[in-house]
Amino acid sequence: QVVLVRSEDVNMSGSLYRAKLKYANFKRKKTNSNPRHGPFHQRAPSKIVWRTIRGMVPHKTARGAASLDRLKCFEGIPHPFDRKKRMVIPAALKVLRLRPERKFCKLGDLSNVFGWKHQELISRLEGQRKVKSEAFHKKKVATQRSQKAAGTKVKVSAEDRKVLEAAGFA
């Protein structure tokens, strides 16, 4: 399983103006006889990222469809994932991909321009999540410090130390 969170904070190279022109050009493309047949132009950042990744995957094969089923994209960090350990893909970091003087824009800003209505809501919920996360982290660090201090204060006899070393707790 691959879960992509905070898709509204994905950085895109190029200015917001340039991204607007490119997305407006994409929005122009539709089925001439019946536009409801597609292509569909999603506004939410998670859907835009999902479709971008779909373009990189052979999604018409069973293997590609299965890999896309294993991919989940979300704006913000919803409940089950806010308690899980997260990873960053180092090769995708802005500091490694873009030169400092180059312009970039956030996907959430582009989506907001084209009709995504939940940017304020997601930013408010993310603010609340960050406050809770910081409190949890401070509590965790304090617990680790106290456990380390208690470990240095305790006196263990030589025979108990042998037993602990044999069990791998030295």
Distance of alpha carbon 142 from alpha carbon 161, whole angstroms: 27
pLDDT band at 170 (very low <50, low <70, confident <90, very high): low
pLDDT of residue 151: 82
Provide the 8-state DSSP code for 100: T
Average pLDDT over all residues of the chain: 95
What is d(CA 127, CA 132) in angstroms, rounded to the nearest whole number? Answer: 9
Q: Of the ranges 67-71, 77-81, 158-162, which one carries the lowest mean pLDDT score?
A: 158-162
Rounded distance between C-alpha atoms, residue 13 and residue 154, angstroms: 56
Proportion of the chain above pLDDT 70, given as a percent: 99
In this prediction, residues 122-128 reach a mean pLDDT of 96
- What does the block give as tokens for 47? 């859907």
Residue-wise pLDDT for 127-150, tens only, equals: 999 999 999 999 999 999 999 999
Question: Tell me: the pLDDT tens digits for 2-21?
Answer: 999 999 999 999 999 999 99
